[in-house]
Amino acid sequence: MRSNLRTIFCCSTFIALLFGSSSAAYADLRVCNMTSSRIGIAIGYRTTEAWRTEGWWNLKPNACESVIPGDLLSRFYYLYAQDYDRGGEWSGTSPMCTRDRQFTIEGIEDCLARGYERSKFFEVDTGEQKSWTIQLNDPTRLPQKTQ
């Protein structure tokens, strides 16, 4: 799944990602796939008890999905995504646990020792908004703000 395009995606994170608040009608954390590829999404966030990671949401090209329904309770969320068709990923510097099939994992420590993969998620600062949309773009497309 990871190829030489991975470097392109990692280095162009600031171009490939758009953080914008969504309309008041949606009180969710939404992810929109603005690419021409199918992508897989994993999220990480803090619950009242511990850190949790969840995945995979499979998004078709030009589709959106609510990954956390309802009002957002945290300011910071973390996202990791893989391009299924062209290879590559959207990643950051925050290591969290994932696996290659659907998962909900409590805790972000000792991923490998617990039988999970360790992926580097990027941080999304929602500014304490109750809803937020993240758009994942092709590296060659310029980000567009979502209101």
- DSSP for 44-59, please give it: EEE-SSSEEEEEEEEE
Query: In this structure, is residue 146 part of a structural domain?
Result: no
pTM score, two decimals?
0.77
Domain containing 89: what range?
Answer: 5-137
Tell whether 144 is covered by a domain: no
pLDDT in tens, 44-93: 999 989 999 999 999 999 999 999 998 998 899 999 999 999 988 999 99
**Is residue 127 in a domain?**
yes
How many domains, in total, are found in the chain? Answer: 1
pLDDT band at 140, cuts 50/70/90? Answer: low
What tokens were used for 25?
């009608």
Closest to 37 (Cα-Cα) out of 1, 84, 75: 84
92-112 core/surface letters (b: 16 or more CB in 10 A; e: else):
bebbbbbbeeeeebeebeebe
68 within domain boundaries? yes
